[in-house]
Amino acid sequence: MSVFVAILSRLAKAALTLLAIAVLNFCLLHAAPGDPAVVLAGEAGAADEQMIAQLRERFGLDQPFYIQLAKYVGGVAQLDLGYSFRQNAPVIDLIAERLPATLLLTLTAFVISLVLGIALGVAAAARVGKPQDSLLTTLALLFYATPLYWAALMAVLVFSVWLGWLPGFGYETVGADYTGLARVIDILKHLILPALTLGLFFMAVYMRMTRASMLEVSTADFVKTAKAKGLSGRVIRRRHILRNAILPVVTLAGLQAGQLVGGAVLTETVFAWPGIGRLMFESLAARDYNTILGVFLVSAAMVILFNIVTDIVYRLVDPRIGARA
């Protein structure tokens, strides 16, 4: 099966998956206790029955559940995620405004975790049983066991409050009005702490997976043949061992790439990063159902997209997969 046909097949499955996720999220959210109309009426200082009834009619909450669901699914099919009455803006606009910041954070963290994880895993496997291997393995275990929110708070405390090396909060310096290259540098400075905090956890996973896979492949017969031919250890590791050991790492990276979006909720909240993770946190506190549903759906779409990209990369790394398909 060609890559193009495989992509079309995955896209069709992705559309059905997103539809199922949209329906499931809508059902679960509406099954949760609480009434947005009551919350809004209470904040307005007029929580009487007439005011609540007017709000329910305005938001369409007085209609039967199946009608609300049908309208929501129909809107999603037209890329209409509804209207946020808490922020007085279409949900798609709110997400489009916040999505670039989340993509910048998650993609940077993903690259950091994957590159460092593979590099340190190769280094540890090349020095197995030595002090360097023990040190790298211990650090990986430490990063993996550390709660993400605690690591984020400690990063702010040490590098921003105590040392003053990096900004601890926000996307860029408020009121600085930087433009051009100066603005890019300012955003990068604000990106370092949240990206490293989010990336180090996954880096530990990729490092341990790379090390274990390298050690397993190093005992294969074709590696022994390469050694018998007189090839250097560096060439064997790069051309023979790493090329085959990288396959399970690619699979794991694709599966966990979507988890970066979930981890970004905590990271964005701690670092006041204006992404969709923080938007979802704020919407949950405000019972902004339409925005919550929109963020859930976009997050699910990102996870599915990461998985499709992983399949493509997997076929490029190992062409035998495409031949078997």
| Domain annotation for the chain: domains and CATH numbers | 1-77 (no CATH), 95-319 (1.10.3720.10)
The predicted model scores a pTM of 0.80
Is the pLDDT confidence value at 314 over 70? no
| 318: DSSP letter | -
pLDDT at 146 over 80: yes
- Give the pLDDT score at 41: 63
Count other C-beta atoms under 10 Å from residue 188's C-beta.
Answer: 13
> For position 40, what pLDDT does the model report?
65
304-313: pLDDT as tens digits: 887 777 777 7
Confidence at 3, pLDDT banded by 50, 70, 90: low
Matching residue, tokens 């009005």: 177
Residue-wise burial string across 203-230, b where 16 or more C-beta atoms lie within 10 A, e elsewhere: bbbbbbbbbbbbeebbeeeebeebeeee
Query: Does residue 324 or residue 295 have the better pLDDT?
Result: 295
* Mean of per-residue pLDDT scores for the chain: 80
Residues 6 or more apart whose Cβ sits within 8 Å of residue 49: none
pLDDT classification of 263: cutoffs 50, 70, 90: low
Per cent of the chain over pLDDT 70 is 87
Cα-based angle 9, 15, 21 (whole degrees, multiple of 5) = 135
**Average of pLDDT values for 71-98?**
84
